[in-house]
Amino acid sequence: MDNEIEHIQGLETLTQLSHLNLSRNRIREIGSSLDANVNLEELNLAGNYLWSFKDLLNLTRATYLRKLSFNDPDYGDNPVCELCNYQTYVFFHLQQLSHMDTMPIPEEGKHLAEATYMKKKVGEMFRV
């Protein structure tokens, strides 16, 4: 944390890495930079410049990821946290998470996110 990092890089050989704190840096995208870190369980990206829902989908490949932070009271947040339905989007796409933004995710929160996301998708299908 606090290293003015702009790009996540150089972690490809750390396949056993399980905890990574990249908070309060200058990161703007995740991309495929964490794909080799197959054992990643905890990731803190709070206080960066992540802004895109689409970019967050890159974390769906982190199947062991359980704790994820884009917003942390100690480190700040990311622009993506201000987008409408931010938590619903993350809960729906990263259902393996147990904690989000330093808080436990209740099981009913995951179910509500799924129902909300599906309802929104169905509504979009019927718009002309």
Q: Report the CATH number that the domain containing residue 44 is assigned in CATH.
A: 3.80.10.10
Region for 85 from its dihedrals, namely left if φ exceeds 0, alpha if ψ lies in -120 to 50, beta otherwise = left
Residue 6 lies in a domain: no
Residue 10 lies in a domain: no
Residue 13 lies in a domain: no
Specify the number of domains making up the chain: 1
Using one digit for the tens of pLDDT, what is the confidence trace for 13-41?
999 999 999 999 999 999 999 999 999 99
Residue 1 lies in a domain: no
What pLDDT does residue 118 have? 74
Domain boundaries, position 69: 19-125
What pLDDT does residue 127 have? 65
Residue 8 lies in a domain: no
Residue 5 lies in a domain: no
CA distances (Å), 7 to each of 13, 28, 29, 47, 112, in order? 16, 7, 7, 14, 34
pLDDT digits (tens), the chain, 128 positions: 999 999 999 999 999 999 999 999 999 999 999 999 999 999 999 999 999 999 999 999 999 999 999 999 999 999 999 998 899 899 989 999 999 999 999 888 777 777 776 777 666 666 65
Q: Which two three-digit tokens encode residue 69?
A: 């932070």
Residue 90 lies in a domain: yes
Residue 3 lies in a domain: no
What pLDDT does residue 58 have? 97
List of residues 6+ apart from 118 with CB closer than 8 A: none
Using CB atoms within 10 A of its CB, is residue 59 exposed (0-12), middle (13-18) or buried (19+)?
buried
What pLDDT does residue 121 have? 67
State the Cα–Cα distance between residues 104 and 91, nearest whole angstrom: 12
